[in-house]
């Protein structure tokens, strides 16, 4: 699964720190998501999508798995 977090965060001129605190997770978590180390929980995915004003499917790209 790919995601557009870094791209969308930069569009909004947000730092990892700012996004993390909006989501109420740590900066490490944002780094791990942006760098593809693991996938977010569905709740975190929803929070992130909401912050960007998009649906989960618009932020997280599910390729064949």
Residues that bind DNA (CB under 7 A): 6, 10, 15-17, 24-29, 31-35, 38-41, 43-44
Give, in order, the Cα–Cα distances in Å from 34 to each of 15, 21, 22, 50, 55: 12, 15, 16, 17, 17
**Shortest distance, CB of residue 15 to its own copies, whole angstroms?**
24
Contact letters for its own copies, residues 1-20 (x by CB under 8 A): x-------------------
Other C-beta atoms within 10 Å of 21: how many? 13
**Shortest distance, CB of residue 65 to DNA, whole angstroms?**
12
């Amino acid at each position: 699964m790919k995601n557009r977090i870094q791209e969308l965060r930069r569009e909004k001129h947000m730092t990892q720190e700012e996004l993390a605190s909006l989501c109420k997770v740590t900066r490490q978590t944002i780094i791990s998501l942006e760098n593809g180390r693991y996938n977010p929980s569905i709740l975190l995915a929803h929070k992130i999508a909401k912050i960007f004003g998009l649906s989960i499917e618009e932020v997280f790209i599910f390729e064949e798995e």
